[in-house]
Every structure is written in structure tokens, then in C-alpha cells.
Amino acid sequence: IRVTRFLIILLILEVYSCDYFRLRNCIDQNKTECPITVYFVIDTSESVALQTDPIESLVNHSKKFVTQFVNKLANEVYQQQISINWQIGGLHFSDIVIIFSSLTQDKALFNDRLKNIRYIGRGTFTDCALSNMTAQMPLNSLGANYAVVITDGHVTGHPCGGMKQQADRARDAGIKLFAVAPSQKIYEHGLQEIANLPHELFRNNYATLKKGTVDEDTETMDKIIQVMVRTDA
């Protein structure tokens, strides 16, 4: 039933999506390329990193998840008229924010930068991470902008105005946010505050790991990419 509901909502969103009209604008303005931007926001605070022994293993799984996700992104041609190209960037955060990759279309370069991040520890200021993500996005682009936020939904402070406020600010700027859990120990309400509606598409129990295993959840990757592509094209 959950899969059927996911597909029904996906089809409805495909028909009425604003991103569809962005692609039409690319065609109408004789643009040959339309970028889809995906920005990864990775929680490397203590609430995530210290959940397991050895510490940092969940952070390493998040890094593997993102690497596999990025490798699945494939450029394609829409209606034999425009080329849809992916550009990717990312930051990780705790009570500070570190941008580990500016926007690039070079997957290998992005993955090399991702490989070098280490957990920060300390507190969790997700609102500041979302604010920084929004600032990195090409908001005037004709393409579509997405953020994949990997966090447990827990926060220890809100010096940048609050997580929901910054998530809403990103949405107002045209960014669609997916919320992905790094483990089963999560604060679901926080994840739902981050994710766009409908939650069946932008939250949907997405996780970096398959439940009860240490394997990256490829179904989560495939569903999120499906939402991106179907609602954008």
C-alpha cells in the first residue's frame, strides 16, 4: 500500500510540478542545458557520531551513502531538446558548518572531497546548516534545486533562527528538501520539519542504512532520485 501511495503521489506531483514549468522555460528560451542541483547536508555532530562503537561509523556510512547516491546520477536529454545535467555540492555540520565541496559537475572531484571529511562532534545547529545550504544554491537558475539532509532530527540549539524557519526559508527560495535518517535512533518530528510535503515523497522513512543491517539503503537512493527526475521532467 505504501509503495502504491508513493507512486500515485509521484505521478500527481509530476503533472503539477513547478519544476516541470522550469524545464518548459528552458525550452521556450532556447536553452540547451538545464541543471539539477543536489546539495548534501550531513550531520557529523555527537548525536550521530557517538551512537555507535566505534564512533564515527555512522558518519562513514553517511559518506558511503552519498558516494553511491552521486554515482547513480546520470545526465540525460529531455525531449531531444535540452540536456539535464546534475551539479552537486555539500557541507557537514555540528555546532559549526564546514562546506566540503562547492557546486560541481565533477563526481570524482566531489567524492574525493567527501572522502576527506571527519566528524566534528559537539552540538547540533541544523538551522545554521540549512541557512548555509540555501546560500550556496543557484537560486536564479532555470533548473531545479534539491537538498538531501542526513540527520537524526535532534538539535541542541538554534542560533540561526530555528530549524523549521530555515527549512521554510529554503522552500520559499524554491529548494525541495529530503530528510534522510542516519540510524534508527531519530527524532521523527525534527525530520518532518525539514522535509517538504508530501512526506510520502520527501521523508518516507528514508535512511542511509537498510533496517537491521550495515548495508547502504539503495532503495532510499533510487526513490529520491526518482522523485527528482519525475517531478523535474
pLDDT score of 167 more than 90: yes
pLDDT, tens digit, for every residue of 37-95? 999 999 999 999 888 888 889 999 999 999 999 999 988 776 666 677 899 999 999 99
Query: Minimal CA–CA distance to 99: which of 141, 137, 129?
Result: 129
Domains of the chain are 2-231 (3.40.50.410)
Average pLDDT over residues 136-165: 93
Average pLDDT, whole number, for the chain?
87
Residue with cell 576527506: 116
pLDDT, tens digit, for every residue of 169-183? 999 999 999 999 999
What is the reported pTM? 0.88
More confident residue, 100 or 33: 100
Measured at the CA of 91, the angle between CA 88 and CA 97, to 5 degrees, comes to 155
